[in-house]
Amino acid sequence: MSSTTGAADGPVRTEVRGRVLVVTIDRPARRNAVDRATADGLSAALDRLDDDPDLWCGVLTGAGGYFCAGSDLTANHDYVTPRGGEYGVVRRERRTPLVAAVEGFALGGGMEIALACDLVVAASDARFGLPEVRIGLLPTCGALFRGPRALPVNVARELVLTGEPMPAARAHDLGFVNAVTEPGGALDGALALAERICANAPLAVQACVAAIDDALGGDTLGWAATEAAKGAVLRTDDAQEGVAAFLGKRPPTWTGR
């Protein structure tokens, strides 16, 4: 199986393994949180995945034992790309299947990136969570409508309303995670799943990806509801307090205003 490796000095690395493009978020010092440069790197990698007819599947993972901690709060929401939307990923209209390989934590926007993928492979010690309410915010990158599609509705509500993470085993039992591996084995497990996909006719696979997305009814209403909730929350004092407390590494003091 042939492989070629792309540039390794930026926040996103790519590697071709046969027909599979491996995309790695490489900011372990920031737990692979997404800033402007990372979003641009992810967008460019996924543009390549969809535009190169020799690539039949993608695998998205993170370096350093983390998948992704979501938004880099110091980026001030500057992580939207023209083709992929937030993080270069979550509003993308893909036809080439994408597998998430999750080690460590997939939190906030990191879980929303996983929800935007077609399949998920996770290490047994991985955790999935939506902790935004703990800092006075809410998930804004698809979890409010993709979560209830991928999980039972009340489980999705639990994740959103408590902010507490879910272990990989429970996510697997509930059908969100396709396969669980030993710690450190998520990438190999995702590559094995990608190879199984690549054994099939690529145009048929791409048509299936598009048809399943269409059958789920599209995301227009979900994005509209998310934007309405976001607009209401971001104007509150609690939202400002939550972010300040997080950055200051102190408990927040909520006022309900």
Q: Which CATH number covers residue 97? A: 3.90.226.10
pLDDT digits (tens, 9 = 90+) for 21-40: 999 999 999 999 999 999 99
Residue 193 lies in a domain: no
Name the residue among 98, 96, 81, 4 with its Cα closest to residue 50. Answer: 96
User: Is 222 domain-assigned?
Assistant: no
- Closest by CA to 69, choosing from 102, 108, 28, 99, is 108
The domain of 143 spans 3-181+202-215
Residues recognised as catalytic: 112, 132
Q: How many domains does the chain fold into?
A: 1
- Which pLDDT score is estimated for 74? 82
Residue 221 located in a structural domain: no
Characterize 114-147 residue by residue with b for buried, 16 or more Cβ atoms within 10 angstroms of its Cβ, and e for exposed: bbbbbbbbbbebbbbbbbbbbbbbbbbbbbbbbb
pLDDT in tens for each of the 257 residues of the chain?
344 444 456 899 999 999 999 999 999 999 999 999 999 999 999 999 999 999 999 999 999 999 999 999 888 888 999 999 999 999 999 999 999 999 999 999 999 999 999 999 999 999 999 999 999 999 999 999 999 999 999 999 999 999 999 999 999 999 999 999 999 999 999 999 999 999 999 999 999 999 998 888 778 888 899 999 989 998 899 999 998 998 899 999 999 99
